[in-house]
Amino acid sequence: MSTEAPNTSERPLDFVRQIVAADLAAGKNGGRVKTRFPPEPNGYLHIGHAKSICLNFGIAREFGGQCTLRFDDTNPVTEDTEYVESIQEDVRWVGFEWNDLRYASDDFDQLYAWAETLINKGLAYVDSQDVETIRRQRGTATEPGVESPNRSRSVAENLDLFRRMKSGEFPDGAHVLRAKIDMADPHLILRDPVLYRIKHAHHHRTGDKWCIYPMYDFAHGQCDAIENVTHSICTLEFETHRVLYDWCIEKLEIYPSRQYEFARLNLTYTVMSKRKLLELVKNGMMSGWDDPRMPTLCGLRRRGYTPEAIRAFCGTIGVTRYNGLTDMVVLENALRDDLNKRAPRRMAVLRPLKVVITNYPEGQSDELDAINNPEDASAGTRKVPFSRELYIERDDFMEDPPKQFFRLAPGREVRLRYAYFIKCEEAVKDEAGNIVELRCTYDPATRGGDAPDGRKVKATLHWVSANHAIDAEVRLYDHLCRIEDLSEVPETEDWKNYLNPQSLDTLTGCKLEPSLKDAEPGSKCQFERLGYFCVDTESVPGKPVFNRSVTLKDTWAKIQKKGG
RNA sequence: UGCCCGGUGGUGUAACGGUAGCACGAAUGACUCUGGAUCAUUUAGUCAAGGUUCGAAUCCUUGCCGGGCAACCA
């Protein structure tokens, strides 16, 4: 990996990078920097993981170090190769490549040997009590725990029992290996924590070789040591584990990686817990892990997010030890910001209202020049067909408009983008009083969109030619949750009650300009005045499906909202 | 009630004993063939009280508020 300047003048270093920079300056670790990104393969990665990915891989890249992708696969019952594969895909998609790909399970032999080391040192023992008893004996925040009657077993007996645990002599739960620390320690984690448990379960990598598996606390720091990780960066909930992390390093006399904790990402109007996301997928409330409403990386990808936007977002939210709640608009803004510069503009009418240009000759059509991206001259222009019958957005017409509405209304003139000024002469209604068609006239002198006499219009509308348009399905997405902060829902209540019932709005019969006919799944564009859209993975030729990635900022919507 | 960690405008962050700054949001205006983008202006903050100091967001004490820890999960 090449070295990037970690501090490009304007952006100050976050506290983790400050520590890394200081360690480097002090000559620690022989000038070496090594981090790791350690997901458990029991679910798909989400935007919160992207924060960790950008931190760990980013530090390695910026400081000329290395970063390992390590699967924390110490619990075979929840883990699966499906997740292992998706995680690799997602890390690469975010834009990083690992120096090594490892698994905690690669180290099971060494971990086992270290467990025996602890036993031999009189620092671990086999406990044969059941879960409930061990839990009761742990004590509480205010009362010390009670020592297990098995705590004084001899080294020989412990070794014998532990070896028999390994060889499969006992059923699940019969015994457990515990560290012998202090049942009265004010740190609950130090009250003889469990190091190994019996699980007769098939492991996605080691198969049936093992029936005992190490706990997180007896694996993570040791794997760090084996890999010579210098800075082991994790989230705040592992803060209280650090004393145990350091205890293992000291007693085992292994490479002293240092653990640093930062606050995980919380976002408004969504859910960031793997358990809850899995629940949504399992019970069919989402179409899958990649449902575009999900905050998963594959969901965001399908929704139309770019890796550039994800990385920019991770850069703006910073890294601290304060557990806050970041506004979803920050993420959305990162996407707009990226796509504004890059996405080609197209015209699409989502809720079509037919417009007949009464003074335009029947059977005639024309081609007009449209700019592909006003932010990027090199994107060039394209032709869009014009004819007597068009569609405009229903929302762009009001029969009896309020003062602030400057779009089309009876007797009013507006511009059709890149085409002509048109004036509404009549709104045709059905028996029920619904407006079914607009009859308008156009001014041939305004071809291209400018009036030679210099007269102005207050609005420019997007439109498509009825006969040339292609039909499409367009899926509009809104927040996954109805409330900002899901953590405020009490445990006694089902959090799923707070899902947004309007998170998906599927529109059919949408009309797209013909240049969109061959758009490939994943390709992105801006539908002018509406938002950024991408072609969905389910889209097929002849039956296109578009996802709305994010809307454009909408001043009119804001005015309407304020007006009640 | 034990231990650990936090608390800077509405939100996210910077300032590392020396002028509280930035981004997003909000508001206003300019410009505009996207009510987009862009540009300009404005808005609003150090949890509280003591202490140390010439000087405190920063150091100390106490309090208040928030989060985490009592899985054979990670």
ipTM: 0.96
- What CATH number should be reported for the domain holding residue A171? 3.40.50.620
For strand B, is any atom closer than 7 Å to the CB of A189?
yes
- A98 shares a domain with A82: yes
- A159 shares a domain with A82: yes
- A212 shares a domain with A121: yes
Active site residue A346: no
pLDDT of residue A563: 75
Number of domains in chain A: 3
A455 burial type by CB count under 10 A (0-12 exposed, 13-18 middle, 19+ buried):
exposed
**8 Å CB contact between A360 and A422:** no
**8 Å CB contact between A370 and A465:** no
pLDDT of residue A4: 38
pLDDT of residue A422: 98
* Any domain includes A407: yes
Strand partners, A435: A429
What is the distance between the alpha carbons of residues A441 and A119, in angstroms, rounded to a whole number?
A: 91
**8 Å CB contact between A526 and A552:** yes
Nucleotides of B under 7 A from a protein CB: 1-8, 10-16, 23-27, 33-38, 66-74
Of A138, A264, A354, A383, the active-site residue reads A264
pLDDT of residue A498: 95
pLDDT of residue A385: 98
- A236 shares a domain with A146: yes
What is the distance between the alpha carbons of residues A500 and A502, in angstroms, rounded to a whole number?
A: 5
- A184 shares a domain with A60: yes
For strand B, is any atom closer than 7 Å to the CB of A492?
no
What is the distance between the alpha carbons of residues A384 and A32, in angstroms, rounded to a whole number?
A: 58
Series of mean pLDDT values for 10-residue runs along chain A (564 residues): 40 93 95 98 98 98 98 97 98 98 98 98 98 96 95 98 98 98 96 98 98 98 98 96 97 97 97 96 97 98 98 96 96 97 97 98 96 96 98 97 94 98 97 97 97 95 98 98 93 93 98 96 98 98 96 94 74
**8 Å CB contact between A1 and A60:** yes
Domain membership of residue A128 as a residue range: 15-262
Q: Report which of residues 398-427 in chain A place their beta carbon less than 7 angstroms from any atom of strand B.
A: 404-407, 415, 417-418
- A148 shares a domain with A36: yes
* Any domain includes A9: no
DSSP-derived 3-state class of residue A547: strand
CA A333 → C1' B22, Å? 16
Strand partners, A471: A511
Token reading at A129? 């009590």
What is the distance between the alpha carbons of residues A166 and A176, in angstroms, rounded to a whole number?
A: 11
pLDDT of residue A562: 80
Token reading at A43? 């679910």
Determine the angle formed by the axes of helices A47-62 and A81-94, rounding to 10 degrees. 60
Q: Report which of residues 499-538 in chain A place their beta carbon less than 7 angstroms from any atom of strand B.
A: 526, 528-529
- A174 shares a domain with A105: yes
- A234 shares a domain with A103: yes
Predicted structure pTM score: 0.96
* Any domain includes A257: yes
* Any domain includes A558: yes
Give the type of residue at A283: N
- Looking at residue A543, what DSSP letter applies? B
CA A334 → C1' B25, Å? 14
Which of A397, A431, A462 is the endpoint of a domain? A462
- A92 shares a domain with A68: yes
* Any domain includes A8: no
- A529 shares a domain with A541: yes
- A437 shares a domain with A293: no
DSSP-derived 3-state class of residue A391: strand
Which of A217, A238, A262 is the endpoint of a domain? A262
pLDDT of residue A491: 85
* Any domain includes A3: no
Q: What is the DSSP string of A63-101?
A: TT-EEEEEE----TTT--HHHHHHHHHHHHHHT---SEE
Half-sphere exposure of A75 (CA within 13 A, CB side): 12
Token reading at A321? 């030890």
- Looking at residue A1, what DSSP letter applies? -
- What CATH number should be reported for the domain holding residue A445? 2.40.240.10
What is the distance between the alpha carbons of residues A544 and A10, in angstroms, rounded to a whole number?
A: 44
Which residue is it, tokens 């090199």? A378
Token reading at A461? 């509308």
- A257 shares a domain with A390: no
Which of A462, A483, A498 is the endpoint of a domain? A462
